[in-house]
Amino acid sequence: MSETPWIHGPIAIRRDVLEEIRAHAEACYPSESCGLATGPASEPALVDASTREVNEADKYHRLDPAQFPRTSREYFKMHELRAAKAFERGREAGRPVKLVYHSHCDAGDHFSAEDSATFAHDGQLTWPCAYLVVSVRDGRAVSQRVWVHVPGTNDFREAALTIV
């Protein structure tokens, strides 16, 4: 069995954690929200905590609009070193990061081509986790889905999400 079974799904998320993620998505609108969600390694499917991250897309766009043409309304950029440290600390503490979450503004909860390009390169997964996308329309979170990497490809498929 893999050391990271949550990357294949299914995922069970505590209701209060999902509500917090949805509230974060609504609070950030019309920008995309982003964050990390964790759970005990001993219960591979369970996600029982989340941490909000700052979407740095606007900062990068202001610094170099040619290199970073999109704003936080269109995509998210998480602080990569902080995220990498969270993955490392979580693994060491027995509470791995199981989800990277973000929202889509006035769009569906699909895993976009940009999401796929960001989180899989040459068939390799960027972060060892699943991905939760929350759809926010007119400032209200309306749906969410979990996406997992299809090994050996740059594609993602929907995985089962249970609210507990």
pLDDT tens digits, 98-107: 999 999 999 9
pLDDT of residue 15: 98
pLDDT of residue 118: 87
What is the mean predicted confidence (pLDDT) over 34-63? 97
Instruction: Name the class of domain 5-163.
Output: alpha beta
Instruction: Return the percentage of the chain with pLDDT > 70, whole number.
Output: 99
CA 11: distance to chain centroid? Answer: 13
The β-bridge partners of 147 are 131, 158
The β-bridge partners of 53 are 34
What is the mean predicted confidence (pLDDT) over 109-134? 91
Q: Is the pLDDT of residue 1 over 50?
A: no
Q: Is the pLDDT of residue 85 over 70?
A: yes
pLDDT of residue 2: 65
- At 81, the pLDDT band (50, 70, 90 cuts) reads very high
pLDDT of residue 4: 87
Q: Is the pLDDT of residue 74 over 60?
A: yes
pLDDT of residue 121: 85
Q: 60: which 2 tokens?
A: 């990068």
> Phi and psi for 17 in degrees, rounded to 5?
-70, -45
Q: 148: which 2 tokens?
A: 């997992």
DSSP assigned state of 6 = G
Break the chain into its structural domains and give their ranges: 5-163
Burial class (CB in 10 A: 0-12, 13-18, 19+), 110: middle
Contact 159, 9 (CB under 8 A): yes
CA 36/CA 96 separation, integer angstroms: 10
What is the mean predicted confidence (pLDDT) over 60-79? 95
Ranking 3-7, 78-82, 132-136 by mean pLDDT, the lowest is 3-7
What is the mean predicted confidence (pLDDT) over 68-78? 94
CB atoms within 10 A of CB 64: 9
